[in-house]
Amino acid sequence: MPVPVPAGPFVPAGTVRVFDTTLRDGEQAPGASLTAAEKLEVARQLVRLNVDVIEAGFPAASPGDWEAVHRIATEVKGVAVAALARCRDGDPQKAIEAIRVAERPHLHVFIATSDIHLKHKLRISRDEALAEAVRWVRYGREQLGRDAEIEFSAEDASRTDPAFLLAIYEAVVGAGATTVNIPDTVGYAIPSEFGALVGRVVDLVGRDATISIHCHNDLGLATANTLAAVQAGARQVEVTINGLGERAGNASLEEVVMALRTRPTQFPELLSRVQTEHITTASRLVSHLTGFAVQPNKAVVGANAFAHESGIHQDGVIKNPLTYEIMTPQSVGLSGSQLTIGKLSGRKGLQKKLRDLGHDVSGDALDVVYREAIALADVKKEVTDADLLALLQQRSGDLPASIVLDGWSVTSSHGGRSTGSARLALDGEGRAGESTGNGPVNALYRAVDEAIRPVLGWEPTLVEYEIKAVTEGEDAQGRVFLRCRRSTDAGPDAIVVTGHGLSTNIIEASLEAYVVAANKLWAAERDRTSLPAPRPSERLP
């Protein structure tokens, strides 16, 4: 079959295309697995952010990952949807099947090119790697037609012999690749050196393909390398929210995008299309769903990124924020206002407040948040922005609950053991359990175990548990985050899910989080597609 002629580079002059890989490389961070529903929620937020491409996953990794990519390709509009595939029989077919329905399918095939990977991992020669790369790029082009994006990545490009790297890029562009990506897979590059390498690729194939870069942060240089590459002519940046990703993570979207915006003279006439006002919401959502906290001093999205502590700085900022702020808090979606809702507030006011915070909520969802906010206003003096965001997040990635908590009680005293009881409905059928424990939470978790074990044949095993106050003050809501696996699953391949609970009563929050996790584990058993993807046995770069 003749290879359709590709439509040529897709990035309009003056723009840097933002390729977000939070749902693929970001999700490869150990412990960051997301369910299909959670991935969909992140994808919707990425659309609000106006990224150009969402890399939705690696469909060959598992049926769960295939399903998540396919759902995003089907349901998420206004953005290109990419899927990753190795250059090996089976992978590209699965990826194409998953993204064919997308408005703009973007196939991303890769093969390692450095001698160290070819010799020790793939055990093939350079010629064989080049032939496989050409084969699968051509296949993708034939299958998806002339208008689709076909991207080729040379894994470990920064440690590859440059002569071979250039030869493989030239060959894949000849076979129909419209984007060639230069990954610094192990975060080894130094900005000046990386910029020079990117420049050579731009000179060779930059007229026929978009040059992309993908930097990891092992030496803390991912953002610096990404920006050096843009200055050298790269026009696609592969980034993740909060810099989430394998090992030390990937270049972070918020840092790269805000650098382009804040230093226009360094990037003349170049801008991304990202609506930066949605950055904070995206950062909080990803942190909440993955359970990866953002360090307080993280650039752009850390809690202290716009906080001024010392007297001299405060004085300067009061006189003129430009003294110590190179970007405004509003430009990344931080609103100055704090006090929000009281018992007498109306639904409309709440809806407007949520919109100001970057969330469009209406209909049933608004009713639910409204009821919860009013109930909270009953027990808490002030319901703040942080409280409202916590209420919203608590609902994110929700699955229909098969296990419902109907009631609980616990007694606990100084130094003594605690006794707890829990009443639940499993698929509508009432169950009760009672147990003792070394504290109230432990006693209640065991009581839940007693109630569900006879039906499920397992109970959740706690892998991680964390509790934090949402705001200051003794009446603050407590937010519980935990990770669980099934007691019958052991070893590194066990599916691990997250659970969140939120209440002014921390025991209630703890129970809620446990029941959410139990629901996810049960849903995973019944429907493989709601599973977070298990880690593929051959780990991805």
- Beta carbon of residue 214, minimum distance to Zn ion (angstroms, whole number): 6
Residue pair 137/169 in contact by the 8 Å Cβ criterion: no
Stretch binding ligand KIV (CB under 6 A), from 44-52, 177-185, 368-376, 377-385:
177-185
How many residues lie near ligand KIV (CB under 6 A)? 11
- Beta carbon of residue 163, minimum distance to ligand KIV (angstroms, whole number): 20
Dig out the tokens for 462 from the structure.
């706690």
Helix (H, G, I), strand (E, B) or coil at 417: coil
Q: How far apart are CA 469 and CA 199, in angstroms?
A: 49
Stretch binding ligand KIV (CB under 6 A), from 128-136, 178-186, 372-380, 405-413:
178-186
| Binding residue (CB under 6 A) for ligand KIV from 155, 255, 385, 449 | 155
Residue pair 331/276 in contact by the 8 Å Cβ criterion: yes
Handedness of CA 213, 86, 108, 257 (dihedral sign): negative
Beta bridge partners of residue 419, listed in sequence order = 411, 436
What mask, x for binding ligand KIV by CB under 6 A, covers residues 299 to 338?
----------------------------------------
Considering CB distances under 5 to 8 angstroms, the limit depending on partner class, which of Zn ion, ligand KIV, none binds residue 385?
Answer: none
Residue pair 325/332 in contact by the 8 Å Cβ criterion: no
Dig out the tokens for 526 from the structure.
């019944």
What mask, x for binding ligand KIV by CB under 6 A, covers residues 70 to 99?
--------------x---------------
DSSP string, 174-189: HTT-SEEEEEETTS--
Beta bridge partners of residue 212, listed in sequence order = 181, 236
Site for ligand KIV in 2-41 (CB under 6 A): 25
Considering CB distances under 5 to 8 angstroms, the limit depending on partner class, which of Zn ion, ligand KIV, none binds residue 223?
Answer: none
Collect all residues with Cβ–Cβ distance below 8 Å to 520 and sequence separation of at least 6.
35, 399, 497, 498, 499, 530
541 counts as binding ligand KIV under rule CB under 6 A: yes
What mask, x for binding ligand KIV by CB under 6 A, covers residues 400 to 439?
----------------------------------------
The letter for the amino acid at 438 is N
Q: How far apart are CA 447 and CA 411, in angstroms?
A: 13
What mask, x for binding Zn ion by CB under 5 A, covers residues 17 to 36?
--------x-----------
Q: Compute the radius of gyration of the chain from its Cα atoms.
A: 25
Dig out the tokens for 345 from the structure.
């507030």
Nearer to ligand KIV among residue 18 and residue 391 (C-beta): 18
- DSSP assigned state of 399: -
Nearer to ligand KIV among residue 228 and residue 456 (C-beta): 228
- DSSP assigned state of 276: G
Paired sense of beta strands 418-426 and 403-411, if any: antiparallel
| Binding residue (CB under 6 A) for ligand KIV from 57, 92, 105, 183 | 183
535 counts as binding ligand KIV under rule CB under 6 A: no
- Beta carbon of residue 540, minimum distance to Zn ion (angstroms, whole number): 7
242 counts as binding ligand KIV under rule CB under 6 A: no
The letter for the amino acid at 299 is A
What residues make contact with ligand KIV under the rule CB under 6 A?
Answer: 25, 84, 110, 153, 155, 181, 183, 185, 214, 216, 541
What residues make contact with Zn ion under the rule CB under 5 A?
Answer: 25
